[in-house]
Amino acid sequence: MTKRLSSLLLQLLLLSITAESSSNRIRHVKPPIRNGEPGTKPYRYETQYFHQTLDHFSFTDLPGFEQRYLVGGLQRWAPGGGRPIFFYCGNEGDIEWFAANSGFVWESAPLFGALVVFAEHRYYGKSMPYGSKEGAYANAKSLSYLTTEQALADYATLLTDLKRNLSAEDSPVILFGGSYGGMLAAWMRLKYPHIAVGALASSAPILQFENIVPPETFYDIVSNDFRRESVSCFNTIKESWDVLESRGQTVNGLLSLSRDFNLCRNLNNSEDLADWLSSAYSYLAMVDYPYPSEFLMPLPANPIKEVCKKIDGLDEGSSVLDRVFAGVSVYYNYTGSVDCFDLEDDPHGMSGWDWQACTEMVMPMSSSQDNSMFPTYDYDYSAYREQCIQDYGVKPRPRWVTTEFGGHDVRTTLKKFGSNIIFSNGLLDPWSGGSVLQNVSESIIALVTELGAHHIDLRASTKDDPDWLIEQRETEIQIIKQWIDEYHQERVASSSMSGAAMM
Amino acid sequence: MTKRLSSLLLQLLLLSITAESSSNRIRHVKPPIRNGEPGTKPYRYETQYFHQTLDHFSFTDLPGFEQRYLVGGLQRWAPGGGRPIFFYCGNEGDIEWFAANSGFVWESAPLFGALVVFAEHRYYGKSMPYGSKEGAYANAKSLSYLTTEQALADYATLLTDLKRNLSAEDSPVILFGGSYGGMLAAWMRLKYPHIAVGALASSAPILQFENIVPPETFYDIVSNDFRRESVSCFNTIKESWDVLESRGQTVNGLLSLSRDFNLCRNLNNSEDLADWLSSAYSYLAMVDYPYPSEFLMPLPANPIKEVCKKIDGLDEGSSVLDRVFAGVSVYYNYTGSVDCFDLEDDPHGMSGWDWQACTEMVMPMSSSQDNSMFPTYDYDYSAYREQCIQDYGVKPRPRWVTTEFGGHDVRTTLKKFGSNIIFSNGLLDPWSGGSVLQNVSESIIALVTELGAHHIDLRASTKDDPDWLIEQRETEIQIIKQWIDEYHQERVASSSMSGAAMM
């Protein structure tokens, strides 16, 4: 891996991770995405564009924009046959990357003769309002239509149009999504039941808002993932922050830290290095897959185990910082090809997710003193808000998501309302704590795997898939089949009843 | 009634009725509302204001506005007791008028110890963005946030805030609404199930869009209401349009028509008179109540029967136009106090509903050759669109309502999705044809009364209420009681289950 690519990835990672340090810089944990080149393209699809309305909820006179979507399976598509449409709700990144990393959708579609559509989220990839990324991201005004409700309305409008154009009015739509895309899939099923009959929401933290789950949840889970591999590994990491900070305060401390961590540029403060380290741990927890993968970085199977092996395995005399450096090198430099590490980061660079985090996606995050291996950090909404005003000129609406989509007391609300949603989660995934982990009703169900990580079920099958993963995917296919069968049965029943009523 | 008041009412009526004539002027049938003074105020409430967000779905930097709402029952309110909140979803008019005309809400609330809230719809009454009606209605830009989704989000935001301020998080909310307000109540239950546990949607034509019901439905029902009283009455009205048009083309025809119909100003064309007549018939069908009422106009019990008595009862030699004039005088001048009738109408005056009809609320309306007593008219969307562009500088989105809220194939969609909605309709009401008249599921049910008119069940009880109406209201109260009981049971069950899960 070249230094430049590594830097690109780092930039994104750093932009997106919450500072747990005492620093005032507010950053936002987000699902791991990669905005760079769209990755490999192992699946066959056509790229199309749909002329989309910029503001669905007002009649302000605004320019439309071209929304990109990918269509696969057209060669087996028969209009009017009632075959399903598998629709992936694109999240915060280039849609080609999600298409490349959601093999389950591609692999299961042929079982149903389904059309596959991957729709890109507005303001990401090539789906830019105002003609370009520069135009779309120019300022708070141009960004103001980057909201979740507008994205869902895009999908609703696109699907309605697609079904009409494909003579597919009788085709049930199944929604898919992982991470923020999974939130979109679940919310879309709830808000647009007339457009989609069911949703597979994988690793969707729809409860990671306000005080629905404790703010420590995320970092506690990351920490547990390390502790379960090795208590000493957990302890070494937990100790390292103070060591790092003290070292940064010594004469030539930052210089020696820069050298020891093989950084391309000398550090200005030790917090940047702390952020870099904690990003690695968080992302490792998300992608702690049981087989080698390249979702964010090229990694071995069970990467946390490998990291802890390095941390624990150095000679007895090794320092805490030597150990953590050896550990994170598994994440940042598994291939061994990195010359030096570049922490360069422009905190004022506009990234779409940062905007969303500063407007609607306000997810409180703390790091607890006892259970977390990260520096203790108490969520401070006032500081968060001030930073958003300073960085983007926008005030967050921290209560809006639960007003618009719910979340509090979700099992009472949805027990007799709504249907056909799978919330799938792996408990290694730090986002799982903010998702739905218990069945809500007969058809709003939680599929929980003890050893799963971030939306592993949506990934392509591999020869190394463990049995529990194979079974999980089989269950999902069975449930989706049931949704589709029921849809066709109900349509037949409704139309015969309507006929009778007309006589 | 003074001439001026009569003129005010006429203006509203005329603004709101579809031209069935061959004229190119497009008007919009709407639920009958009165924007003038708010009517009597028989119920006790406090008037409050809530600082509301103008655009819930973008982060454009816009001024907020003060939304008016009325609160009753505070004297019996006990915070934290889990008692319900009865919430009326204000429709297109002054909220005090809806409060005065929705006696059922006030009368049933004490049975539950419920708080009563009537919330005003943005851009109506005193809930004006941009500081005043002049500011709010200045142009298409200032009006652009007058949409149904924004209004629902207002209600969601207001309710969330109210519940927090009243320590009423455990209070189930029951939604009420009639006509467009009924549509809002039903849609709100579907879109915000976490905020309200059920909705009584009275006379809510949620299917009066696109081709879901035939466009002739509305006028066919009006016509049937007349035919069931008297075939000769129906025939006289049906004949009258040609007579009127011919007479208007004769020398001095308009002058003599103006005199015969006792108009305050001379006619410029016979179409204005035709519009005035057909408005009366349509509104008569809506308010064909079995007891004397003053909802739109002071009227006798069963007013259509009275109109037809006049039309049929004139001397044998009476002309068709003499007969229809005698008939509509029951509607426009039942008290006999009108000096002359003022048809004055400014088709370019901005009315909120006309804006809504030109943007989202696009309801196709035709008048059939055979079943309608009105002039034959085929719905012409292109002409409708052009008129909206000309009048308001805005393009309608005729497919948006069904994309956002559904409607097609509603029984398949909602059979296993959604719960706790009553669609109540009286079959005399011409809007009933666009509503839900069959049960969808066990808890999305249709209450249909053969002899009911426009949201009669929401009106205050009277000593003349027929048995079917008393029974209908009792059924509604029983169902609402069941929703509330189930809500409390489910909360208890959920919290005990969560407790168990945490152990």
Question: What are residue A4's phi and psi, to 5 degrees?
Answer: -65, -45
Single-letter code of the amino acid located at A300: P
Q: Do the Cβ atoms of A143 and B59 come within 8 Å?
A: yes
Q: Residue A203, CB half-sphere, CA atoms under 13 Å: how many?
A: 26
Helix (H) or strand (E) holding B71: strand B65-72
User: Out of B160, B193, B405, whose CB is closest to A413?
Assistant: B193
Q: How far apart are CA B224 and CA B433, in angstroms?
A: 12
* Interface check A145 vs B, CB under 8 A: yes
For B439, phi and psi rounded to 5 degrees?
Answer: -55, 140
Cα separation, B267 vs B344, in Å, equals 10
Residue B494 at interface with chain A, using a CB cutoff of 8 Å: yes
Q: Which residues pair with B423 in a beta bridge?
A: B201, B446
Among B122, B144, B178, residue whose Cα is nearest residue B360? B144
Model pLDDT, residue B78: 81
Cα gap A417→A441, rounded to integer Å: 9
CA angle A214, A218, A221 (to 5 degrees): 110
| Backbone torsions φ then ψ of A428, nearest 5 degrees | -75, -25
Q: For residue A485, what is the enclosing H or E element?
A: helix A467-502
pLDDT digits (tens, 9 = 90+) for A228-267: 999 999 999 999 999 999 999 998 999 999 999 999 999 9
Instruction: Name the residue with tokens 């989509």.
Output: A405
Marked catalytic residue, from A6, A171, A288, A454: A454
Residue B49 host element (H or E): strand B46-52
Q: What is the 3-state secondary structure (H, E, C) of A368-406?
A: CCCCCCCCCECCCHHHHHHHHHHHHCCCCCCCHHHHHHC
**Are A219 and A365 spatial neighbours (Cβ–Cβ below 8 Å)?**
yes
Chain B residues closer than 8 Å to A362 by CB? none
Q: What is the DSSP letter of A121?
A: P
The two tokens of residue A502 are 């007309």
Which of A6-20, A489-503, B75-89, B155-169 is the most confident on average? B155-169
Q: What Cα–Cα distance (Å) separates residue B503 from each residue in A221, A385, A438, B500?
A: 18, 36, 15, 5
What's the Cα-to-Cα distance from B264 to each of B4, B15, B338, B340, rounded to whole Å? Answer: 11, 18, 10, 5
Quickly state the pLDDT bin for A39 (edges 50, 70, 90): very low
d(CA A105, CA A117): 10
CA nearest neighbour of B365 among B352, B349, B351, B376: B376
Q: Give the sheet arrangement for strand B46-52, strand by strand.
A: B46-52, B65-72, B115-119, B85-89, B173-178, B198-202, B421-426, B444-449
A497 in B contact zone (CB under 8 Å): yes
Chain A partners within 8 Å of B419 (Cβ): 416-417
List of residues 6+ apart from B260 with CB closer than 8 A: B321, B322, B325
Residue A443 has which token pair?
A: 């058809």
Q: How many CB pairs under 8 A join A and B?
A: 150
- By C-alpha distance, the chain A residue nearest B355 is A59
Best mutation site among A157, A416, A492 for testing chain B: the one with the most B CBs within 10 Å? A416
Subunit contact B156:A411, Cβ cutoff 8 A:
no
The pLDDT value given to residue B23: 36
CA B8 to CA A492: how far, in whole Å?
51
- Cβ pair B141:A60 closer than 8 A: yes
Please answer whether residues A185 and A199 qualify as being in contact, where contact means their C-beta atoms are separated by less than 8 angstroms. Answer: yes
* B298 burial via Cβ count (<10 Å: 0-12, 13-18, 19+): middle
The residue in chain B having the minimum alpha-carbon distance to the alpha carbon of residue A415 is B490
Predicted pLDDT at A343: 85
| Structure tokens, A381 | 């909404």
- Chain A closest-CA separation from residue B491 CA (Å): 6
- Give me the half-sphere count of Cα atoms (radius 13 Å) on the Cβ side of residue A25: 19
Contact list in A for residue B56 (CB cut-off 8 A) is: 57, 149, 400, 404
- Going by their DSSP bridges, the two strands A65-72 and B85-89 should be labelled as unpaired
Neighbours of A265 (CB within 10 A): 12
CA torsion through residues A271, A272, A275, A276, sign = negative
- Measured between beta carbons, the chain A residues lying within 8 angstroms of B494 are 409, 411-412, 415
Q: Between the CA of residue B87 and those of B46, B200, B221, B404, what are the distances in Å?
A: 14, 10, 30, 23
Choose the mutation target among A144, A194, A354, A487 for the interface with B, i.e. most B CBs under 10 Å: A194
Nearest CA in chain B to A198: B417
pLDDT value at residue A498:
54
Considering only the beta carbons, identify the residue of B58, B415, B487 that sits closest to A144. Answer: B58
Nearest residue of B to residue A159, measured between CA atoms: B403
Instruction: List chain B residues with pLDDT less than 50.
Output: 1-28, 30-40, 346-350, 499-503
From the CA of B417, how many Å to the nearest CA of chain A? 5
Query: Is any Cβ of chain A less than 8 angstroms from the Cβ of B407?
Result: yes
DSSP B376: P
Q: Write out pLDDT tens, residues A173-202.
A: 999 999 999 999 999 999 999 999 999 999
A467: annotated active-site residue:
no
For residue B176, give every residue at least 6 positions away whose Cβ sits within 8 Å of its Cβ, in sequence order, or none. Answer: B86, B87, B88, B89, B102, B104, B105, B185, B199, B200, B202, B458
Instruction: Return the DSSP state at A407.
Output: B
pLDDT for residue A68 is more than 70: yes
Q: Flag if A141 and B61 touch (Cβ within 8 Å).
A: yes
d(CA B63, CA B421): 35
Cβ pair B113, B54 in contact under 8 A: no
Chain B segment 432-491 residues within 8 A of A by beta carbon are 438, 443, 486-487, 490-491
Nearest alpha carbon to residue B455 among B445, B439, B469: B469
Residue pair B428/B452 in contact by the 8 Å Cβ criterion: yes
Look up B429 and say whether it is catalytic. yes
B60 contacts on A by Cβ (under 8 Å): 141, 144
Instruction: Give the per-residue pLDDT at B401.
Output: 98
CB contacts, 8 Å: A419 with chain B: 416-417
With CB atoms and an 8 Å threshold, state whether A58 touches B400. Answer: no
Per-position b or e across A53-62, b if 16+ CB within 10 A of its CB: bbbbbbbbee
Q: Return all residues near A254 (Cβ < 8 A) that are at least 6 apart.
A: A248, A266, A267, A268, A269, A270
Catalytic residue (choose from B225, B454, B457, B465)? B454
Chain A nearest CA to B93, separation (Å) = 20
Residues of chain B positioned with their CB less than 8 A from the CB of A59: 140, 143-144, 147, 359, 394
Q: Which of residues 46-65 of A touch B (CB under 8 A)?
A: 53, 55-61
pTM, whole model, 2 decimals? 0.91
10 Å CB burial of residue B436 (0-12, 13-18, 19+) is: buried
CB contact under 8 A, B150 and A58: yes
Q: Which of B179, B282, B367, B419 is catalytic?
A: B179
Residue A391, pLDDT > 80, answer yes
Residues in chain A closer than 8 A to B438 (CB atoms)? 497, 501
Helices B217-229 & B231-249, crossing angle to 10 degrees?
Answer: 120
List, for residues B309-337, the tens digit of each pLDDT value: 999 999 999 999 999 999 999 999 999 99
Paired with A69 in beta bridges are A48, A119
Contact B160 A403 (CB under 8 A): yes
Contact A157 B403 (CB under 8 A): yes
Instruction: Supply A125's token pair.
Output: 């990839």
Point out the catalytic residue in the list A102, A179, A223, A279: A179
Q: Specify the pLDDT at position B66.
A: 98
Helices (H), ranges, B113-147: 133-136, 140-143
CB–CB of B280/B445 below 8 Å?
Answer: no
Helical segments of A42-121, H only: 95-100, 103-112
Encoded tokens for A149: 């409700």
Residue A282 has pLDDT above 70, yes or no: yes
Q: Rounded to 5, what percent of chain A is helix, strand, coil?
A: 45, 10, 45
Q: Residue B444: beta bridge partners?
A: B421
Which two tokens mark A146? 């980057």
Per-residue pLDDT tens for B91-123? 999 999 999 999 999 999 999 999 999 999 999
154-173 in A: which are within 8 Å (CB) of B? 156-157, 160, 169
Task: Summarize the confidence of residues A472-482 as an average pLDDT.
Answer: 98
In degrees to the nearest 10, what's the CA dihedral of A466, A468, A474, A476?
-120
Residue in A with minimal Cα distance to B149: A57
Active-site residue, selected from the candidate residues A154, A225, A354, A429 = A429
Of A59, A160, A412, the CB nearest to B491: A412
d(CA A14, CA A25): 12
A416 Cβ under 8 Å from any chain B Cβ: yes
Residue written as token pair 């029943």: A493
